[in-house]
Amino acid sequence: MFGRVRSIDLTSLNDFIIYVSTPCLILSSLAEKPIELGLAGKVFLSVVIVVLGCFLIGYVIVKLLGLSIKLYLPPIMFANTGNMGLPLVLFAFGDNGFSIGILYMVSMTIIHYTLGILILNFDKSPFEVLKLPLVYSAILGILLSVSGWKMPLSAERAVTLLGEASIPTMIFALGYKLSELRLSHVKISLLFGGLRIALGFTLGILTVTLFGLNGVTSDTIILQSAMPPAVFNFVLAEKYNQDSHIVASIIMAGTLISVFTTPLIIAWLI
For 137-154, how does the pLDDT look when each residue is reduced to its tens digit (9 = 90+)?
888 888 888 887 888 888
How many residues belong to the chain?
270
Question: 2-269 has which CATH code?
Answer: 1.20.1530.20
The one-letter amino acid code at 87 reads: P
What span, in angstroms and rounded, lies between the C-alpha atoms of 74 and 119? 8
DSSP for residue 79? B
What span, in angstroms and rounded, lies between the C-alpha atoms of 126 and 121? 6
| The predicted structure's pLDDT at residue 3 | 47
The one-letter amino acid code at 234 reads: F
- pTM of the entire structure? 0.84
Q: Where are the domains of the chain?
A: 2-269
End-to-end CA distance of the chain: 38
Query: 53 phi and psi, to 5 degrees?
Result: -65, -45
What span, in angstroms and rounded, lies between the C-alpha atoms of 144 and 220? 25
For 94-145, how does the pLDDT look when each residue is reduced to its tens digit (9 = 90+)?
878 888 888 898 899 889 988 988 888 766 655 666 777 877 888 888 888 8
For 233-258, how does the pLDDT look when each residue is reduced to its tens digit (9 = 90+)?
988 888 887 888 888 889 989 999 99
